[in-house]
A and B are shown apart, each in its own frame.
Chain A
Amino acid sequence: MNVKGKLPTSGTLILNNECSVTAVNASDGTFTATLNNGKVEIANGGGTNNSNKICTLKSGEALAIGSEYECDPGDGKKRTFYVLEDGDAAIKTDATPAGSISLIMDRNIDNTTVAWSADGKSHKDEDESAQAITVKA
């Protein structure tokens, strides 16, 4: 069997001994496949659309502290983050509101060192002395 393209991440594809599809119920967020009168029909945009999700779980349990996610914060580049805090947990800080989750990147933003500012509110890059790090993008 020669399978091409992106495989569905959920659902069922049943084949007979001749590798003919006898039943389909599958989707991956961008399409839904069903079997109709012996033919597999692909509908774009069917199922749950995951394209707007910022983060997807890579390892661990969903929302668990330390679980690994792959996230695109908005610049189109996927990076690895770990769950740092659950806003609905019994023990948490005010930094993560209810209904939200905070994730820490798996590495520093770059290899440059930065000075910590004396006011305790901002951290400034050596070449960006006036910029606070705690911006809300």
Chain B
Amino acid sequence: MNANTIGWTKVLVDLPTGQQIANAGGLTTWTDDGTSTSNVPGLSTWLYCNLSENSAPYGYWTKTPHTRYTGGAWYVADGMNVSSVEGHVNFSSRPVITISKSDL
């Protein structure tokens, strides 16, 4: 993704965290170890728009690993769930920009 955002000089660029997605989806009790829930179903469509069900990438990675499931990380499709990261290349990346409110 770096190559695609190299010109983004006005903003900070990062991946979403699992907690950011969960909070935006209204599940504030979510934890990255999956103790509150193993997945976050029914996210608002703006959190997973422009994805294809028929061909990869089916979703996008968060930057959050699953803290109890070694080798797993949280991803977002129509909900947020956990995938093994080993050998899985079904997901892409979706940038999050952070800016001062004065830039809005």
Contact = CB atoms under 8 A, between A and B. Distances in A.
A99 B100 contact: yes
A106 B24 CA distance: 14
Interface residues of A, number: 63
A75 interface: yes
Interface in A32-47: none
A87 B61 CA distance: 22
Given A93-B20, A120-B73, A112 B57 contact: yes
- Which interface class (under 10, 10 to 19, 20 to 34, 35 or more) fits B? 35 or more
Contacts of A115: 85, 88-89
B61 A123 contact: yes
B57 A66 contact: no
B91 A114 contact: yes
B98 A116 contact: no
A54 B11 contact: yes
Contacts of A100: 98-101
Interface in B44-78: 44, 46-47, 49-51, 56-57, 60-61, 63-65, 71, 73
Interface stretch (A8-16, A22-30, A127-135): A127-135
Contacts, number: 191
A34 B70 CA distance: 66
A85 B19 CA distance: 10
A72 to B, nearest CB: 7
B36 interface: no
19 contacts: A63-B101, A88-B101, A91-B28, A95-B17, A96-B98, A97-B98, A100-B99, A102-B98, A103-B99, A109-B5, A113-B56, A113-B92, A116-B61, A117-B85, A133-B63, A135-B5, A136-B12, A137-B5, A137-B13
